[in-house]
């Protein structure tokens, strides 16, 4: 796609914060040291499920160097949670702990050591309750309830949706297949451990600096939890040293730091240890899945029925959304005219799961893409051809009422097939080597906010200074994906100046308009569109003033190369800084807002709010693997991903997102697992929680496909999460191609491959994966007409567009 | 118990009065205000805290400052020469090798030690040298690319310097190949 008409967009520029990052100048939360600052520590429960019978802090309070000690009794007695429907957390538990790692008290002291020592002087007695460590345990013991709310004893959420008659669809099929899959839980493992600094000033106002992906939601929750007017709270998100979804809730350490600062009368920092980060979690749900699909001889899908059982852990977190997401996006990639989804999330006494890169969708994508490969084999079809023939059409709706706008999936498939030499390799590689493919789709921003409201999802203020410098104020949080840079690029493009002329001031609830946060791949699209709107409004004012001076009409003008000039007579113009002076003289202060809210396209049914997005990205992935038949070790040797990003605003950054996604997908499919024994994390260290190193990450080939989506800023879609999705099943499919073993659960660890090979030698079906499904009766489905194939509304109306 | 020591950090002598059990990481960050050095585990497992001691990569979370007295400590703050970035820093910035940037200081120092010992490493040698530095953002691809680019630029700069030594000066050439022109 031509980028000629752009001067900034489409260029592989360095990020605007690169220079501070390579010199060590970037200040993350734990790099803040304020005068008189105290250090905080949390005391955490060693038991997975217990009643607190005694909690005495007097010995800790008496320790020299201790400024304050708090328990849940020092906070308002109410529960909170990120989702309005799941208010089930306490910063410091008062009556009951529900997992190892639940905080029960907190200390602020002169240094970390003293704080730590003080926590050991807090006397806590527990009365142990039976720990429920699995979905089966929790369903079998309704008498030992973890929470008093939900859709049943230990059932957090149960959903059942039906779009058309699946049984009838199965009757029309030539082949009906059922499969069962399990996706193990894993965690984000950001390199930066969470940290927060709170300062409750003498003016009675609170400032919190935190490594959070969502300062706005933390701001809202703090008002509630601390019982302070929200207007007197300021939350600043410091540059985040990796998030991946792990810094999206309000956490005990943030809340405790605030209250401790209030009591101690000085700033308080709490920085989590790596072990605490493992228990804080909110990562990938372990999900058991059953699916049944009807196929025609040519591979066309007549209908699909999908069930998921999520092991939620001890709290709600984003779990209701996660549950819906395990069923929402199956329909976006291929034509599925009829669809039924049933899902349930069960509480267990383990750290709560939540959103991790791809939120709730990598698990079903693993299932769907392995299932399709098996069906292709049964039907005698090439797995590429079968997928390629049945892709969703642009500007149509899916069975579950999602709107697909542009799609570049066909091109993505063609490009990875060609680049990888698929046709020369599939089924033809020597024993032990294999190649596999998979595809996926992902949202570019959630269509709805966490809490219902009519306000913008993203706001930007662009301010022009008389110097010609421009400030961009936006609540968005840069977690490494480069959102600050994207804001600078789009504003520079519209105003015809250089990114260097722009300073971005992000994520400060006092100074910046709200952006909901860095989740659901929403920032480039939503904050980007808001920034474009603000910059265009500013440009209109500038053009008006310059037009008057040059005696032309604003429509005759163009902004480029730091100048504003007459399009057909480029010599006639003024420098950008001078144009700003003219505009400020005419209009007064130049500080202009832009707002964005997604088009209102949610399906009109309960649960229809999870899944809609302004547009979807698409990815196709081919992986080549080497499998050692002795040890069962799987080594990916090369990976190709083609990703429909709409438009690459900066191809360098998009490639970086794709590469990082591939890496993370490889970790999940081959080695990462968040597992517990008797409530205790088996491997809460970076050495034992295996993640890929530079040695284990293969050569990666990234291909960017552009579709110029009408919803995206300059046509852009997301890139940060979607490319992870196909990697996991592509590896599983490649392993099958290499050694004929189906490992239907992650991680595909050496022992499972060896077990599969052993089964094969014994002449048994060479499949390793879950055998049983939990006993659970899903609620009667809500029956909704399938919207499959209906045309999308020609023009999506969205609020604040003009 | 506290002790008085003198450390040479980035070419500067710094006096420190700190508890003897404090790690080099803690002393650098808390006593010397050099927060560029990061931590991801404080157990020697992630490489984020890597600094150079006499040119060798050392995990500062496991090192004791007393043992580093009289030795040259280099942190990320000491990589640039005045306003001139080290070619590794330049290449990391240009190629997008720092996403969240949290692993970056440690990566840069491990890479610098590699390039000192092996000026033109193969890609596998780079992988090997950085295997102890975890990065969760980049998939390592752009980091490997950046180290290779920096190696190439340093190599070319070295060639030019040598030919200049032979044939007289040509100002600006070095800046050009180091990307600082
Ligand atoms: S902090 Fe030193 S190795 Fe992780
Ligand atoms: S850039 Fe984020 S951990 Fe490496």
**Residue of A242, A253, A239, A244 lying closest to A192 (CA atoms):** A242
Q: How far apart are CA A348 and CA A146, in angstroms?
A: 7
Answer yes or no: do B90 and B167 share one domain: yes
Nearest CA to ligand 2 atom 4: B135
Burial (CB < 10 A; 0-12, 13-18, 19+), residue A732, is: buried
Using the structure block, give the residue that is written with the tokens 């360095």.
A14
Residues 6+ apart with CB under 8 A from A713: A490, A524, A525, A528, A529, A531, A532, A649
Question: Considering B27, B51, B78, which residue would you say is the last residue of a domain?
Answer: B78
Chain A residues with CB inside 8 Å of B79's CB?
23
Confidence of residue A794 (pLDDT cuts 50, 70, 90): low
**What is the structure's pLDDT at A4?**
57
The enclosing domain of B55 has a CATH number of: 3.10.20.30
Beta-ladder partners of B49:
none
**CB distance A471 to A638 below 8 Å:** no
Answer yes or no: do A67 and A201 share one domain: yes
Q: Which domain holds residue B151?
A: 81-181
Answer yes or no: do A319 and A260 share one domain: no
The 10 Å Cβ neighbour count of residue A366 is 31
Answer yes or no: do A621 and A769 share one domain: yes
Answer yes or no: do A538 and A423 share one domain: no
Which tokens go with A266? 């000085």
For a pocket test of ligand 2, which of A480, A481, A693, A694 has the largest count of ligand atoms closer than 8 A to its C-beta? Answer: A480
The enclosing domain of A764 has a CATH number of: 3.30.365.10
Answer yes or no: do A476 and A618 share one domain: no
Q: How far apart are CA A739 and CA A735, in angstroms?
A: 6
Chain B residues with CB inside 8 Å of A274's CB?
40-43
Whether the per-residue pLDDT at B116 is higher than 60: the answer is yes
Is A24 close to B77, i.e. CB distance below 8 A? yes
B 107-146 residues with CB < 8 A to A: 108, 126-128, 130-144
Answer yes or no: do B12 and B60 share one domain: yes
The enclosing domain of A60 has a CATH number of: 3.90.1170.50
Average pLDDT over residues B89-99: 98
Is A147 inside a domain boundary? no
Give B89 to chain A, closest Cα distance, Å.
Answer: 5
- Full DSSP string of A675-721: -EETTEES--STTTS----TTTS-EEEEEEEE---TTSGGG----SS
Confidence of residue A5 (pLDDT cuts 50, 70, 90): confident
Chain A residues with CB inside 8 Å of B32's CB?
none
**CB distance A173 to A794 below 8 Å:** no
Alpha carbons within 13 angstroms on the beta-carbon side of residue A189 total: 28
Confidence of residue B179 (pLDDT cuts 50, 70, 90): very low
Q: How far apart are CA B78 and CA B86, in angstroms?
A: 9
Is A105 inside a domain boundary? yes
Answer yes or no: do A465 and A355 share one domain: no
Answer yes or no: do B87 and B73 share one domain: no
Is A802 inside a domain boundary? no
Answer yes or no: do A274 and A303 share one domain: no
Q: How far apart are CA A480 and CA A252, in angstroms?
A: 24
Return mean pLDDT, chain B.
Answer: 92
ipTM summary value: 0.97
How many pairs of residues across A and B have Cβ atoms under 8 Å apart? 172
Domain count across chain A? 3
Answer yes or no: do B112 and B72 share one domain: no
Answer yes or no: do B62 and B114 share one domain: no
Alpha carbons within 13 angstroms on the beta-carbon side of residue A489 total: 28
Answer yes or no: do A331 and A266 share one domain: no
Answer yes or no: do A561 and A497 share one domain: yes
Is B139 close to A659, i.e. CB distance below 8 A? yes
Is A155 inside a domain boundary? no
Is A694 close to B130, i.e. CB distance below 8 A? yes
State the SS3 of A587-632. Answer: HCCCEEEEEECCCCCCCCCCCCCCCCCCCEEEEEEEEEEEECCCCC
Answer yes or no: do B58 and B73 share one domain: yes
Q: Using a 6 Å CB cutoff, which residues line ligand 2? A: A 191, 242, 480; B 98-103, 135-138
Q: How far apart are CA A240 and CA A188, in angstroms?
A: 13
pTM greater than 0.90: yes
Question: Considering B61, B78, B95, which residue would you say is the last residue of a domain?
Answer: B78
Q: B154 and chain A: CB distance < 8 Å anywhere?
A: no
Alpha carbons within 13 angstroms on the beta-carbon side of residue A786 total: 21
Residues 6+ apart with CB under 8 A from B168: none
**Helix %, strand %, coil % of chain B (to 5):** 45, 15, 40
Answer yes or no: do B58 and B95 share one domain: no
- Cα-Cα-Cα-Cα dihedral of A299, A300, A303, A309, to 10°? 50
**CB distance A357 to A720 below 8 Å:** yes
Across A296-332, the runs of DSSP E, i.e. the strands, are: 301-313
Domain count across chain B? 2
Answer yes or no: do B120 and B181 share one domain: yes
**What is the structure's pLDDT at B171?**
46
Answer yes or no: do A498 and A434 share one domain: no
**Residue of A215, A297, A632 lying closest to A432 (CA atoms):** A632
Q: How far apart are CA A696 and CA A692, in angstroms?
A: 5
Is B101 close to A26, i.e. CB distance below 8 A? yes
Whether the per-residue pLDDT at B174 is higher than 90: the answer is no
Q: Which domain holds residue A577?
A: 18-25+456-596
pLDDT digits (tens, 9 = 90+) for A393-437: 999 999 999 999 999 999 999 999 999 999 999 999 999 999 999
Q: How far apart are CA A634 and CA A757, in angstroms?
A: 13
Is A653 inside a domain boundary? yes
Chain A residues with CB inside 8 Å of B77's CB?
23-24
Answer yes or no: do A460 and A537 share one domain: yes
End-to-end CA distance of chain B: 51
Chain A residues with CB inside 8 Å of B74's CB?
none
Answer yes or no: do B94 and B162 share one domain: yes
Is A656 close to B99, i.e. CB distance below 8 A? yes
Answer yes or no: do B87 and B72 share one domain: no
Answer yes or no: do A315 and A428 share one domain: yes
The enclosing domain of B143 has a CATH number of: 1.10.150.120
Q: A179 and chain B: CB distance < 8 Å anywhere?
A: no
Give A28 to chain B, closest Cα distance, Å.
Answer: 9
Answer yes or no: do B107 and B123 share one domain: yes
Question: Considering B26, B53, B78, which residue would you say is the last residue of a domain?
Answer: B78
pLDDT digits (tens, 9 = 90+) for A638-648: 999 999 999 99
**Residue of A487, A469, A467, A468 lying closest to A477 (CA atoms):** A487
Q: How far apart are CA A576 and CA B170, in angstroms?
A: 38
Answer yes or no: do B60 and B9 share one domain: yes
Give per-residue burial for A95-117: e unless 16+ CB within 10 Å, then b: ebbbbbbbbbbbbbbeebebbeb
Q: What CA–CA distances, in Å, run from A563 to A279, A472, A479, A501, A552? A: 54, 19, 33, 13, 16
Is A138 inside a domain boundary? no
**What is the structure's pLDDT at B46?**
98
Average pLDDT over residues A39-56: 98
A 359-378 residues with CB < 8 A to B: none
pLDDT digits (tens, 9 = 90+) for A69-105: 999 999 999 999 999 999 999 999 999 999 999 999 9
Residue A192 CA to ligand 2 center (angstroms) comes to 9
Give per-residue burial for B141-165: e unless 16+ CB within 10 Å, then b: bbbbbbbbbbbebbebbeebeeeee
pLDDT digits (tens, 9 = 90+) for A271-328: 999 999 999 999 999 999 999 999 999 999 999 999 999 999 999 999 999 999 999 9
Which tokens go with B37? 């050095």
Burial (CB < 10 A; 0-12, 13-18, 19+), residue A41, is: buried
Which tokens go with A647? 């438009």
**What is the structure's pLDDT at B168?**
58
């Amino acid at each position: 796609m031509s980028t000629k008409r752009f001067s900034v967009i489409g260029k592989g520029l360095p990020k605007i914060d690169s220079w501070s990052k390579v010199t060590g100048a970037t200040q993350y939360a734990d790099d803040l040291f304020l005068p008189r600052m105290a250090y905080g520590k949390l005391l955490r429960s060693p038991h997975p499920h217990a009643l607190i019978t005694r909690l005495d802090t007097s010995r800790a309070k008496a320790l020299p160097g201790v400024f304050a000690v708090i328990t849940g009794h020092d906070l308002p007695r109410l529960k909170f949670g990120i989702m309005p429907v799941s208010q089930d957390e306490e910063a410091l538990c008062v009556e009951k702990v529900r997992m190892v790692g639940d905080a029960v008290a907190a200390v602020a002291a002169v240094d970390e050591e003293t704080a730590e020592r003080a926590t050991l002087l807090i006397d806590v007695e527990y009365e142990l309750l039976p720990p429920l460590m699995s979905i089966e345990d929790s369903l079998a013991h309704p008498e030992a309830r973890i929470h008093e709310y939900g859709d049943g004893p230990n059932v957090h959420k149960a959903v059942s949706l039906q779009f058309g008659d699946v049984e009838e669809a199965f009757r029309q099929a030539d082949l009906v297949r059922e499969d069962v899959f399990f996706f193990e839980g894993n965690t984000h493992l950001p390199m930066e451990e969470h940290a927060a600094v709170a300062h409750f000033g003498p003016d009675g106002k609170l400032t919190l600096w935190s490594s959070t992906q969502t300062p706005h939601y933390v701001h809202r929750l703090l008002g509630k939890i601390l019982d302070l007017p929200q207007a007197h709270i300021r939350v600043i998100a410091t540059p985040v040293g990796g998030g991946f979804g792990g810094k999206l809730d309000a956490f005990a350490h943030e809340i405790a730091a605030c209250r401790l600062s209030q009591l101690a009368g000085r700033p308080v920092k709490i920085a989590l240890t790596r072990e605490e980060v493992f228990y804080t979690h909110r990562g990938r749900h372990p999900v058991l899945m059953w699916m049944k699909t009807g196929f025609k001889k040519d591979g066309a899908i007549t209908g699909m029925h999908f069930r998921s059982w999520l092991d939620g852990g001890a709290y709600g977190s984003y779990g209701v959304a996660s549950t819906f997401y395990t069923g929402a996006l199956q329909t976006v990639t291929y034509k599925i005219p009829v669809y039924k989804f049933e899902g349930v999330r069960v509480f267990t006494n383990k750290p709560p799961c939540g959103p991790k890169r791809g939120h709730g969708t990598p698990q079903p994508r693993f299932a769907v893409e392995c299932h399709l490969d098996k069906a292709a084999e049964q039907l005698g079809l090439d797995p590429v051809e079968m997928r390629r023939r049945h892709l969703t059409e642009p500007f149509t709706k899916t069975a579950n009422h999602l709107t697909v706008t542009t799609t570049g999936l066909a091109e993505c498939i063609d490009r990875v097939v060609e680049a990888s030499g698929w046709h020369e390799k599939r089924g033809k590689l020597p024993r032990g080597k294999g190649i596999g493919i998979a595809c996926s789709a992902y949202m570019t921003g959630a269509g709805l906010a966490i809490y219902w409201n009519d306000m913008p999802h993203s706001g930007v203020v662009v301010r022009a200074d008389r110097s010609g410098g421009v400030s961009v104020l936006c609540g968005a949080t840069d977690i490494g994906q480069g959102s600050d840079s994207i804001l600078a690029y789009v504003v520079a493009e519209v105003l015809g100046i250089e990114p260097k002329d722009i300073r971005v001031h992000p994520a400060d609830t006092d100074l910046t308009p709200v952006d909901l946060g860095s989740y659901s791949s929403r920032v480039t699209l939503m904050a980007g569109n808001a920034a474009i709107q603000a910059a265009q409004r500013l440009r209109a004012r500038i053009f008006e003033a310059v037009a008057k001076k040059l005696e032309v009409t604003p429509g005759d003008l163009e902004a480029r190369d730091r100048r504003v000039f007459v399009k057909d007579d480029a010599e006639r113009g003024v420098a950008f800084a001078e144009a700003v002076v003219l505009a400020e003289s005419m209009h007064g202060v130049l500080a202009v807002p832009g707002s964005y809210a997604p088009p209102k396209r949610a399906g009109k049914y309960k649960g229809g709010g999870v899944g809609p997005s302004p547009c979807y990205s698409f990815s196709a992935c081919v992986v080549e693997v080497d499998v050692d038949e002795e040890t069962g070790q799987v080594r990916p040797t090369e990976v190709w991903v083609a990703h429909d990003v709409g438009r690459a605003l900066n191809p360098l950054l998009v490639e970086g997102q794709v590469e990082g996604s591939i890496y993370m997908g490889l970790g999940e499919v081959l080695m990462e697992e968040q597992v517990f024994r008797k409530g205790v994390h088996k491997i809460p260290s970076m050495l034992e929680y295996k993640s890929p190193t530079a040695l284990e990450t293969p050569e990666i080939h990234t291909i960017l496909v552009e579709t110029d989506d009408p919803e995206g800023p300059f046509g852009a879609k997301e890139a940060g999460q979607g490319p992870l999705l196909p990697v996991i099943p592509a590896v599983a499919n490649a392993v099958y191609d290499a050694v004929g073993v189906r490992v239907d659960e992650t991680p595909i660890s050496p022992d499972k491959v060896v077990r599969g090979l052993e089964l094969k030698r014994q002449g048994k079906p060479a499949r390793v994966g879950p055998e049983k499904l939990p006993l659970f009766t899903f609620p009667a489905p809500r029956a909704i007409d399938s919207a499959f194939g209906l045309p999308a509304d020609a023009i999506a109306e969205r609020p604040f567009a003009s | 118990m506290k002790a008085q020591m003198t450390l040479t950090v980035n070419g500067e002598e710094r006096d420190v009065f700190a508890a003897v059990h404090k790690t080099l990481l803690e002393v650098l960050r808390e006593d010397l205000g050099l927060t560029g050095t990061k931590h991801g585990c404080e157990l020697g497992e992630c490489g984020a805290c890597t600094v150079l001691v006499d040119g060798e990569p050392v995990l500062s979370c496991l090192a004791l400052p007393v043992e580093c007295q009289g030795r040259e400590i280099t942190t990320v703050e000491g990589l640039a020469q005045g306003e001139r970035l080290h070619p590794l820093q330049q290449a990391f910035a240009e190629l997008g090798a720092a996403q969240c940037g949290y692993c970056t200081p440690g990566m840069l120092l491990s890479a610098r030690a590699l390039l000192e010992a092996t000026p033109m490493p193969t890609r596998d040698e780079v992988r090997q040298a950085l295997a102890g530095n975890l990065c969760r953002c980049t998939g390592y691809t752009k980091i490997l690319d950046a180290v290779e680019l920096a190696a190439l630029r340093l190599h070319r700069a070295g060639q030019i310097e040598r030919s200049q030594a032979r044939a007289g000066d040509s100002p600006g050439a070095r800046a050009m190949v180091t990307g600082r022109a």
